[in-house]
Structure 1
Amino acid sequence: MSGRKITCLDCGQVNRMAQDKPASTAKCGTCGAKLMDGKVHEVDLATLQKAARNDDVPLVVDFWAPWCGPCKMMAPEFSKAAASHAGRVRFVKLNTEAEPAAGQRYNIRGIPTMAAFRGGSEKARQSGAMPAAQISAWVTQSI
């Protein structure tokens, strides 16, 4: 079976997304969730690790915490950037307060911090809040 591997952000199942079909129509074979909906999804550490390791589609992660003012300011900008990359890149958020092991695992020293993953490894990292246009430019350059 050919296609791009992509992890469902709802149930964690690895799926194959057909190359010849629009990414916007791809759904998880297990739970039926859309795989490339252009929205930001909150994930836990296990789902992040699985997606970063297995997915053929680029993944951008925002490491954040609810008490962080710049994180709150950047959240709507991150969502705008996600919408502008719909069908090409997936955007997720990981709460480092709820998942302290993630901060250690990915060596997060300050938040917000974004990391871009592709092909099983981290390709780029950027700390600090940014507007949507700057996030989009960074994503395009990084992946």
Structure 2
Amino acid sequence: MSDALHIVCPHCAAVNRITVNRLGDQPKCGQCHRPLFDGQPVALDAAAFQKHITRNDIPVLVDFWAPWCGPCKMMAPHYAQAAAQLEPHVRLVKVDTEAEQALGAQFGIRSIPTLALFKGGREIARQAGAMGSADIVRWTQANNA
């Protein structure tokens, strides 16, 4: 890996170039000037999903969920806590499979919540079922080694 990473802004989707040693310095987007990391999962539509998966040089953890799903609602605060712990080394995003049915179909999401870890534009790990924040962090780190 080079000393510069491409990071997609969670607010305006601009691709930013950040040196590895500046990741922890709360970098801001060169286009919209908002923080590139705010410790919160980013809700994505299909177009933003593709950009985040293919253009981020850091791993992207996706929570495939739906608003009617009880376990999804129970896991949401744990997922947010995990985001605060895993950023800036992993981007955490959420995809509402009710609103983005084509994405759910494209990735063969059969049950929700399902977590999928992407690196370099491809899926490297998947886990179905609700988890607590410590388990989300542990699972992500174990699969991103």
Same-fold call, TM > 0.5?
Answer: yes
Task: Find the counterpart in structure 2 of residue 93 from structure 1.
Answer: 94
Give aligned pairs, total.
142
**In the alignment, which residue of structure 2 is the partner of 1:123?**
124
Residue 16 of structure 2 aligns to a residue whose secondary structure is: strand
Instruction: Tell me by how many angstroms 1:108 deviates.
Output: 0.8
Q: Distance in 2 between matches of 1:9 and 1:98?
A: 19
Alpha carbons of structure 1 residues 90 and 24: separation in structure 2 relative to 1, 3 Å: farther
Cα separation, 2, equivalents of 1:88 and 1:20: 11
Letter matched to residue 112 of structure 1 = P
The letter for the 2-side match of 1:66 is: P
Structure 1 SS opposite 2:30: coil
**Corresponding position: 1:56 with 2:57:** yes
Structure 2 CA distance for aligned equivalents of residues 114 and 26 of structure 1: 26
Answering whether residue 83 of structure 2 is matched by residue 82 of structure 1, we say: yes
Alignment deviations for residues 65-86 of structure 1 (CA, whole Å, 9 cap, x no partner): 0000000000011111111112
Q: Which amino acid aligns with 1:10?
A: H
Structure 1 residue 3, shift from structure 2 partner: 1.4
**TM-score by structure 2 length?**
0.91
Q: Which residue of 1 aligns with 2:31?
A: 30
Give runs of ≥4 in structure 1 deviating > 4 Å.
none
**2:6 aligned residue:** 5
Say which is worse superposed, 65-74 or 101-110, in terms of deviation: 101-110
Q: In the alignment, what sits opposite 2:44?
A: 43
Q: 1:138: which partner in 2? A: 139
The within-5 A match list for 1:103-114 is 103-114=104-115
Q: TM-score, normalised by structure 1?
A: 0.93
Show structure 2 runs of 5+ residues with no match. Answer: none
Q: What is the CA distance between 1:112 and its match in structure 2? A: 0.3
**Matched position secondary structure for 1:21:** helix
What is the aligned-residue identity percentage? 47
Shift in Å, 1:33 = 2.1
The 1:118–1:24 alpha-carbon spacing in structure 2 relative to 1, beyond 3 Å, is farther
